Amino acid sequence: MLFMYNEEIASLFTNLEIRVGDRVKVTSADGTFEGILMPRAEVGRNDIIVIKRTDGYNMGIRYAKGIKIEKVSGTKGAFSFPKVEMSHDRSLKTINMLYTGGTIGSKIDYVTGGVYMLTKPEELLAEVPELHGIANMEISNLMSIASEDMTYKEWIRIAQEAAAVLNKGSEGIVITHGTDTMHYTAAALSFMLEGVNAPVVLTGAQRSSDRGSSDAFSNLICSSHIATKSNIAEVGICMHSTSSDGQNIFIRGTKARKMHTSRRDAFRPINSVPICKVDTKGKIEYTSDYRHVGKGSKKVKALTGFEPKVALVKVHPNSNPDIIDYYIGMGYKGIVIEGTGLGHVPTSPSIKELSWIGQIRKAVDSGIIVGVTSQCLYGRVHENVYRNLRLLRGTGAIFCEDMMPEVAYVKLGFLLGNYNKKKAQEMLNVNIAGEITQRTRFDEFEVE
């Protein structure tokens, strides 16, 4: 393995039978250096040889004429994590962990120096021994992908697996997931898992678990507490409540959104308050109404249809409605508009061709379901306050109440994938999984 070294250096190494990880001696004009040959980072110049000195520091030596390289000794055996046997404690509940990838399962690769995803989720458990005292955990290694690469196919896969383990008697599920699109997956699962009768908890990490400060540890602990101890029969996201470690919030899957690129408390409830707070010791404090786990053993049904030909379109000053023509032409079945304010689209701008009304009407007339949401995220859209809103309503577009644009997008894909068009149209602004509420509470804005 000669990661990212240029051809000249790579062939030199090959001739000398030197591999990354070997102990080498490099003699340059600046002196002689001994250390372990490291791989090159993915970017930057590739004529620099990086070695790790005995004190642990890496240094780069430019490969130039006259440089001498010798192999001192071969690679030391690679480190592997201690094997963890999950013991089964009869006094504890059994929950399932579905591993899908993301930062929570990322590790520094000491060979490449980059962050990679774990292929063995057991490694994660090895670092959180507290989990053993919370529940018996059964792990399914579903996939190992970054959340920006998730598609509806993965949502379906997760929904099927969740339904399967629940129907086998699992009392709760923790799903580890990359954070970027975790709220899309949470919404998808909220819609897809019909009749869910146990807590389904998505969690992740904003700092990878190879650092001592990672939020992965407390997120896993708090999520396991909810999956084990709570009687919430809903899908939700369990992440840090604040920038401090120790307490998490559990947010309904259709009301959660990643609102910060990097903070550990990035996930906030939008138009909602958290279902509960939970601390690492397992104390759960319920903060709003939720669906309770019911008696009896009804089966969970995974409704796994999804229509991929749905678009999420954002309007803004100067935005051109021609894009709608494109979607009509491509045979799209649904469009969710992310409007401004109460749900506006440009209606009578001075540049006449920038009015969206005509195109939206054309889309509706051609059989596309058009939903209207707001880029404000917070608050509810309205179809009557201004004349321009009434004009938009007149096109046949559906105003989606207090549903977030991304949730409306997932919902429309879900509806079109599982029901006929008429039913989908009827259900778009009717609550299924907590995505639409009738009351807008005062304390739902910028919840801390």
Partner 1 sequence: MHDSDYYRKIGFKCGLEIHQRLATEHKLFCSCDAGMKPDTKIATVERRQRAVAGELGMMDRSTSFESSRGRGFVYNIFENSTCLVDIDEEPPHDVNGDAVETGIRLSSAFNAKVPDEIEPMRKEVVDGSDPSAFQRSMLIGHDGHIEIDGKKYSITSIFLEEESSGIESSNNETVTYNVDRLGVPLIEVDTAPDIRTPSEARSVALRIGQLLRLTGKRDGDCAKYLVQRGIGSIRQDVNVSIEGGTRVEVKGLQEIGSVDIIIENEVERQMKLLEIKKALLARKAQVGAVQDITKLLSRSGAKMISETLKNGGVVLAAGLPGFAGFIGYEIGANRRLGSEISDYAKMSGVKGIIHSDEDLAKYGFSEGEIESVRKELKLGKDDAFMLVTAQKDMCEKAITLATYRARMAMSEVPPETRAVLDAEKGTTKFMRPLPGGSRMYPETDAKPIVVEHAYRKKILDDTIFAQERIAKIREELGGNLQIADQLIGSPKLQIYEYIASRSKCDKLVVAATLLERMKELERGGLRIDIDDDVMVEIFDKYPEGRLTKAGIVEVIKEMPKSEKEIESVLKKKSLERISGNKLKELIKETGMKGREDVIRAIMSKYRLNVDGEELSIMLGGKNEI
**Degrees to nearest 5, angle at CA 435 with 427 and 424:** 15
Residues 103, 228, 254, 373: which is the catalytic one? Answer: 103
Q: According to CB under 8 A, which one of 99, 217, 327, 332 is a site residue for partner 1?
A: 217
Q: Is residue 37 at the binding interface for partner 1, with CB under 8 A as the rule?
A: no
Residues 94, 176, 179, 437: which is the catalytic one? Answer: 179
Taking the least distance from each CB to partner 1, the nearer of 59 and 323 is: 59
Query: Rounded to an integer, what distance in angstroms lies between the CA atom of residue 347 and that of residue 180?
Result: 33
Q: Footprint of partner 1 on residues 121-180 (CB under 8 A)?
A: 127
CB of 212 to partner 1, least distance (A): 3
* 103 part of the active site: yes
* 180 part of the active site: yes
Taking the least distance from each CB to partner 1, the nearer of 62 and 390 is: 62
Q: Is residue 66 at the binding interface for partner 1, with CB under 8 A as the rule?
A: no
Q: Is residue 41 at the binding interface for partner 1, with CB under 8 A as the rule?
A: yes
Residues 107, 176, 180, 215: which is the catalytic one? Answer: 180
Q: Is residue 45 at the binding interface for partner 1, with CB under 8 A as the rule?
A: yes
Q: Is residue 242 at the binding interface for partner 1, with CB under 8 A as the rule?
A: yes
Size of the site for partner 1 (CB under 8 A): 51
Angle formed by the axes of helices 182-192 and 405-418, to 10°?
Answer: 40
Q: According to CB under 8 A, which one of 3, 12, 22, 113 is a site residue for partner 1?
A: 113
Q: According to CB under 8 A, which one of 7, 15, 17, 55 is a site residue for partner 1?
A: 55
**Exposure letters 7-31 (e unless 16+ CB within 10 A, then b):** eebeebbeeeebebbbbbebebeee
Q: Is residue 5 at the binding interface for partner 1, with CB under 8 A as the rule?
A: no
Amino acid present at 147: S
Helix (H, G, I), strand (E, B) or coil at 203: strand
Q: Is the dihedral of CA 165, 167, 171, 177 positive or negative?
A: positive
CA separation, residue 432 to residues 157, 190, 416, 428 (Å): 21, 9, 14, 9
- Please say whether the beta carbons of 24 and 71 come within 8 A: yes
Q: Is residue 43 at the binding interface for partner 1, with CB under 8 A as the rule?
A: yes
What is the set of active-site residues?
A: 103, 179-180, 258
| Interface contacts to partner 1, rule CB under 8 A | 30-31, 38, 41, 43-45, 48, 50, 52-62, 76, 78-81, 108, 110, 113-115, 127, 206-207, 209-214, 217-218, 242-246, 261-264, 280
